[in-house]
Amino acid sequence: DTGVSQDPRHKITKRGQNVTFRCDPISEHNRLYWYRQTLGQGPEFLTYFQNEAQLEKSRLLSDRFSAERPKGSFSTLEIQRTEQGDSAMYLCASRTSGGSTDTQYFGPGTRLTVL
């Protein structure tokens, strides 16, 4: 399967702990996105990478959140000092640059539960 993959699929943590999620985009895609989705809502944009450069961040991304994409391949999203309000599905998407399509392809998501 050559789609977007995310790990882990589920994470349960206690309030105050740090968590890290990983996203592996489709291999030829140089653009990578993180979104957050809560129950009954559509995904909300968090941040965007073009290759290894983080070019845009949402105001939703507080100081407790940090994302990296070393070498322009996989990406990690870390949440420090988790709060119950961080409980959500974290989605990663990727797309190619140029070409005839702007389509973002999503991974299966990481479901975070903060107790």
- The contact set with another protein (CB under 8 A) reads 4, 6, 31, 33, 35, 40-45, 48, 55-56, 58, 91, 93, 101-109, 111
Please, what is the minimum distance in Å from the beta carbon of residue 94 to another protein? 12
Please, what is the minimum distance in Å from the beta carbon of residue 21 to another protein? 13
The span from the CA of 88 to the CA of 60, in Å, is: 13
Per-residue tokens: 85: 């309000």
Nearer to another protein, 74 or 106 (CB): 106
Q: Can you say how many angstroms the Cα of residue 81 is from the centroid of all Cα atoms in its chain?
A: 18
CB 108 within 8 A of CB 98: no
* Residue 71 φ/ψ, nearest 5 degrees: 65, 10
Nearer to another protein, 22 or 80 (CB): 22
Please, what is the minimum distance in Å from the beta carbon of residue 81 to another protein? 26
